[in-house]
Structures are given as structure tokens and as C-alpha cells.
Amino acid sequence: MSEPSLALTKDSLELLSLATKARDKAYVPYSKFRVGVALRTRSGTVHVGCNIENASYPEGWCAETSAISAMIMASDGAGSSEIEELVVVAEHSQPITPCGGCRQRIKEFGTPETVIHSADLNGIQKSFTLAGLLPAAFDLKAEE
């Protein structure tokens, strides 16, 4: 199998724009660290999320969790809950990637070839496959 294309496309740039808008809605009264995510499913639907903090750390939600929740709530089958591409954006000295828990959540609904773009406010800075970010993912699925 060939390596999936990590090249930026029109769809990638649309996800960046939506993730940046989602970031602006983040509820972060404690850390002030805004994160936005936009994901596209295999069927082409797009879902966004932002981080949501809570005074009782760590009860908040990561932006990826929020976007995945929106995806599940809107899912109607036929690839509508299979993540194909995702952009995570935050203002930071270097582009961030999903945390370990979110990598595992993305794995639940993605494939090793799922593309994850890491962006800052200047745009997409680096791209990865899920397999590259989570090479030894936990999996309960039975071997066939």
C-alpha cells in the first residue's frame, strides 16, 4: 500500500478555516489556550469542535473530542463516522498535535492512513498519518 498523500488540498484549507473559526469559540477561562478542530469524514461531511474547560480539571473536553461527538451525533452510516482528514489549530510556539487520548479517539473512527494536519494561526505547518502519530494503537478488535 502506498503512503497517503499529505499534500494540502482545497479541502485541507477549508478544514483549516473551519478549525480556526471553531477555535474562536473555545471556552477556556482557566488556561486561555484555545484549540479548534475540523474533521472530514470518508463520506465528505465536516464537523468542528473546540476545547471546553471546566473548573474541575481535568473534566474539560479537548477540541478533537468535541468534533468527534458532533460527528457521531450527525452520523447516518455509509462512511459518515469514518475520519479521513483532520486539522487541529492553536496559537503556540509550535503547531500542536492531538494529545494521546485524542489520538486513540481518532483511531477509533479513523484508519492508519487518516491525515492529521497540525496548524498554528499562520496555517498548516506539518502533516501526519494517524499511524505516524500512534504507531502502536490500543485495539480490542479480534484478529481475523
Which pTM does this prediction carry?
0.91
Count of structural domains, the chain: 1
Angle between helices 100-109 and 63-74 (to 10 degrees): 20
Please tell me which residue in 64, 84, 91, 108 is annotated as part of the active site: 64
> Over the chain (144 residues), what is each successive 10-residue block's mean pLDDT?
69 97 97 97 96 92 97 86 97 92 96 97 96 92 60
**What count of other Cβ atoms lies within 10 Å of the Cβ of residue 115?**
24
Q: Assess if residue 142 is contained within a domain.
A: no
59 is catalytic: no
CATH code (residue 16): 3.40.140.10
Compute CA 74 distance to the chain's CA centroid, rounded to the nearest angstrom. Answer: 16
Q: Assess if residue 144 is contained within a domain.
A: no
